[in-house]
Amino acid sequence: MRAGVPSGTSLSVSFARGLGVDRQPIDPLAFELLPPGLAQLAAAPLHLGAVAGLYRAAVRATTFGLIDHIVLRTQAIDAQLVSALEAGIDQLVILGAGLDARAWRLEALKGVTVFEVDHPATQRYKRKRMSRKRPPTDIRYVSVDFEKERFCNALEAAGFRSGAPCVWIWEGVAMYLPLPAVYGMLEQLTSLSAPRSELAMTYRAPGLLPYGAFGRAAIPAVFAAAGEPLKSTLEPHQLASALAPAWEVAFDEDSHGWRASTGSSAKPSRGFLSERLAIVRKRG
């Protein structure tokens, strides 16, 4: 993260959700969250008529498939979240929330307390953009730099109830943190989670960067140049052991699995197959 500047990757994933799939945004709030120029580019398919498909395909190609990847990721996590809420869970913590607009856009979150935990610079930007938009639910903000601070005390001070189950969403964040910070966060969220809690977390598996030697050099360089270097990878079995014995892994798949679980018309992208989504449940 660059000092004092909101996360650029949070803007790019919001852009992808605004562009959406089948000519429809999967997050219409992206148009309010993004700076005006980027919001216009994300909204273009709504106005382009017959050439909307061509426009989207061009953006998809120039971003190595980011658009479809993010659509699939967000849809898979939404589906898991809604089913956890149907089971009666009434608190949600979004770690590294960025421009996540679930608290505003998901009807199922009515009556649920939503804690958005994020880097102060990104959170400041988001709160400014959303200042005039009342969320339909109780939303509480917690500012933390995950590389420098623990979040558990601040979360409890904001009203988190560790005696009650919760859903944790940790989407597209772990790869930007060094491994000790990732393990530290897993330890904290485990200590705060009552039985039946659920965690949806994405992480980057090693060795899967596409496009050969070019990809192995260029992809990390692009993230580093944007001020958000990729800092960690995990093998699925390493994550499972870090979570054991407290958590049981219910799902751990790349974007092919996300598509199969949602039936989405977005297509997995070769450029991002190294990102996996794990859904885990706290044992009783």
Ligand X SMILES: C[S@@+](CC[C@H](N)C(=O)[O-])C[C@H]1O[C@@H](n2cnc3c(N)ncnc32)[C@H](O)[C@@H]1O
Contact residues for ligand X, defined by CB under 6 A? 1, 7, 9-10, 13, 96-100, 118-119, 122, 144-147, 171-173, 176
Q: Are 103 and 128 in contact (CB under 8 A)?
A: no
- 234: phi then psi, degrees, rounded to nearest 5: -140, 140
Minimum distance from CB of 95 to ligand X (Å)?
Answer: 8
**For ligand X, the closer CB: 99 or 246:** 99
Vertex 202 angle, CA 108 and 65, to 5°: 95
Question: Looking at residue 277, what DSSP letter applies?
Answer: E
**For ligand X, the closer CB: 120 or 210:** 120
Minimum distance from CB of 213 to ligand X (Å)?
Answer: 26
- Name residue 169's beta-bridge partners: 94, 200
Q: Which residue has the CB atom at the shortest distance from ligand X? A: 98
Minimum distance from CB of 5 to ligand X (Å)?
Answer: 10
- Cα separation, 201 vs 276, in Å, equals 8
Minimum distance from CB of 17 to ligand X (Å)?
Answer: 8
**For ligand X, the closer CB: 168 or 246:** 168
**For ligand X, the closer CB: 19 or 246:** 19
Q: Are 283 and 263 in contact (CB under 8 A)?
A: no
Peptide bond into 245 cis (omega under 30): yes
- Cα separation, 251 vs 71, in Å, equals 18
Minimum distance from CB of 98 to ligand X (Å)?
Answer: 2
**For ligand X, the closer CB: 109 or 246:** 109
